[in-house]
Chain A
Amino acid sequence: MTKVTIRNLTKIYGQAIKAVDSISLEIPSGEFVSLLGPSGCGKTTTLKMLAGFESVTSGSIAFDGDDVVAVPPEGRDIGMVFQNYALFPHMTVRGNLAFGLEMRKVPKAEMQRRIDATLDLVQLGPYADRYPRQLSGGQQQRVAIGRALVIEPRILLLDEPLANLDAKLREEMRVFIRDLQRRVGITTVYVTHDQAEAMTMSDRVVVMFGGKIAQQAPPSDIYDYPVSREVAGFVGQVNFIDGFVASVDGDLACIETPFGPAEVPAKTRGRGSAVTLALRPEAIDIVPDTAGHGIPATVVSSYFSGAILDYTLAMADGTKVDVKTIARTRFEPGAQVRLSVDAHRFWPIEAA
């Protein structure tokens, strides 16, 4: 198993276009890390530098302490899964899996054993002699993963591997890849622009914007404690609530908000300063107007999307709030309701 250490990694195209801007990242052995961000944030460039397909402008990449920047891709011992799978169309599934082993001059018997084991791992045993064009998208995807894993590489790199699959298959493959990675225990870097994918699969999510790392943390921390408006907005829906510091008591600050007081970790601001709080839509609950408690609001729109109801509401001062609820009672647009908030779910982002 391999530990990956990235130090001040930078990629400049042409004279001044910084695709990746001095990022540093430590990936412990066996960890599943996702690089998450919008297109053009530098996540794919970073992955290609890890694989060796993209040259490094400055900085270093080390596998277990060995600098690999000067090593060409064929010498890095990586397993790579491409977005379009890139299976060799003129080879069977077995041929595709054998290719990397042939490059490593693995003896015949050993090769058969490893291919069979990998075919079992990716559940493709019966398809060994099929050509890629005879397989479904999901099966091709599993061949691509098998081909990358059969060589027992030091690290596994995946470049938006689920982007071409339909929604149901995508969810199945998320679980499949995650389980597989846990079982094999291989250090994995996964590039995606889909926050749900990054959340469900990763040990750690690295959110990138404009070539820089905005935040790196376990998925739940990224979701609950985002460091910036951008991060908060990129990983799911969020409401930004303006408030001001009412009092500071040690590590905690009491913030006055339109939803009532909220206690959040104190930053260095003094009393009276303006603060923006993030509040996830599911931290707000809707109760009928007749309940008598909570903050009054009017339903602007409500959408049914299966498991949840998606509301947009307007508060008395006109502020719009998004709410997601699993309640089955549906309030129609125009209805007067009251909102109750889980006060622990407020999180300070930055000054307004």
Chain B
Amino acid sequence: MARQALNIYSVIIYIFLLLPIAVVVGASFNSGEFLTFPPQGFSLRWYVAFLNNEVFMRAIRTSLWIAAVAMVVSGIIGTMAAVYYVNYAARSKETIRIAMLSPLLLPEVLTAISLLFFVYAVGIGTTTMFGLLVGHVLITLPFVFMNVTSSLEGYDPDWSMAAQSLGASRWTRFRRITLPLIKPGVFSGCLFAFVISFDVFTISFMLKSIGSSTLPIQLFDYLKTNYTPEAAAVSTVSIVVTILVVIISEKVLGLRVHRF
């Protein structure tokens, strides 16, 4: 009885969470002029409109590019931070953890505004994408840090010592032993970083460089003046990109987890 109730409850929660997405996807196939649901007839015209919309296409390229760079930079910094945190931080451990996670703990808008002040104060400004990239790295860093940290907790320091006794230098030990064994954590951390960066709004809104825009910002701008199903098509593409990234990286790059 209780189990059945729980099942029903879970299904309702999922419907609640996924229904808006289903509505958006459904609305994107609308053949009418306005964003309505249920759709008035089936058509791919809004996808064609989106693909021919140079502004949107530029925005999606920018988003993918920023997400890729943020993922790589966060991946490297976050992994290094996690290795230091687990193996070397002694008394400063708690401080480091809170510092690394603070972008998650603080309201995003606060981080964004402070960062905006900062980039102007140090003269970087927003004429280039640098400030925006810094913002994306900052906001995605905690995800890499948390994932790598948790996979390092299952890492036996004796493995490194064994490699050392066999003659491996510090860098070789990291490259040949540590990194392959924490790969699943690094991997899912990077995945999170990519997806979060691709979706993030507030940071991008504050820090975007003049004349360029990420997909969520462009969508927001578009919706201020238009109310066509093209917005739903853009959202659907954005959802599909996110899901594709997850699936492709799992299948192609391989998350071969070693079980001990």
Chain A residues packing against B (C-beta within 8 Å): 51, 53, 72-80, 82, 84, 86-90, 99-100, 103-104, 131-133, 147-148, 151
Contact = CB atoms under 8 A, between A and B. Distances in A.
Interface string B131-161: 0000000000000000000000000101101
A53 B161 contact: yes
B168 A74 contact: yes
Nearest to A99: B166
B3 interface: no
A115 to B, nearest CB: 13
Contacts of A100: 166-167
B181 A90 contact: yes
B165 to A, nearest CB: 4
Contacts of B162: 80, 82, 86-88, 147
A70 B28 CA distance: 69
B251 interface: no
B166 A147 contact: yes
Contacts of B177: 88
Q: Which of the listed residues B164, B168, B176 has the most CB atoms from chain A within 10 Å of its own CB?
A: B164
A104 B167 contact: yes
B172 interface: yes
B169 A74 contact: yes
Contacts of B169: 74
Given A78-B165, A99-B163, A104-B167, A84 B181 contact: no
A115 B33 CA distance: 73
A188 B163 CA distance: 19
A148 B156 CA distance: 18
A151 B172 CA distance: 17
B254 interface: no
Contacts of B176: 99
A89 B167 contact: no
Contact of A80 (B159, B165, B180): B165
B260 interface: yes
Given A89-B258, A133-B260, A103 B167 contact: yes
The 8 closest A-B pairs by CB, nearest first: A100-B166, A103-B167, A86-B158, A86-B162, A80-B165, A73-B164, A89-B260, A90-B180
Contacts of B156: 84, 86
B224 interface: no
Contacts, number: 65
Given A84-B156, A99-B166, A104-B167, 15 more contacts: A72-B164, A73-B161, A74-B164, A74-B168, A75-B167, A77-B167, A82-B161, A88-B159, A88-B177, A89-B260, A90-B258, A103-B166, A103-B168, A133-B259, A147-B162
A84 B161 CA distance: 12
Nearest to A87: B162
A103 B172 contact: yes
Contacts of A87: 162
Given A133-B259, A133-B260, A86 B159 contact: yes
Given A84-B156, A84-B158, A89-B181, A51 B259 contact: no
Q: Find the residue from A72, A74, A148 having the highest chain B CB count within 10 A.
A: A74
Nearest to B162: A86
B260 A74 contact: no
Contacts of A75: 167
Given A82-B158, A90-B180, A74 B167 contact: yes
B161 A151 contact: no
A147 B163 CA distance: 10
Contacts of A99: 163, 166, 168, 176
A100 B158 CA distance: 15
B247 to A, nearest CB: 24
Nearest to A153: B165
A295 to B, nearest CB: 54
B255 to A, nearest CB: 13
Given A89-B258, A133-B260, A151 B158 contact: no
A79 B165 contact: yes
A93 to B, nearest CB: 14
Contacts of A147: 162, 166
Contacts of B180: 90
Nearest to A151: B166
Contacts of A151: 166-167
A26 B56 CA distance: 77
A151 B166 CA distance: 8
Contacts of A80: 161-162, 165
Nearest to B177: A88
25 contacts: A73-B164, A74-B164, A74-B167, A74-B168, A75-B167, A76-B165, A78-B165, A80-B162, A80-B165, A82-B158, A84-B158, A86-B159, A86-B161, A86-B162, A88-B177, A90-B180, A99-B166, A99-B176, A100-B166, A100-B167, A103-B172, A104-B167, A133-B259, A147-B162, A147-B166
Contacts of A132: 260
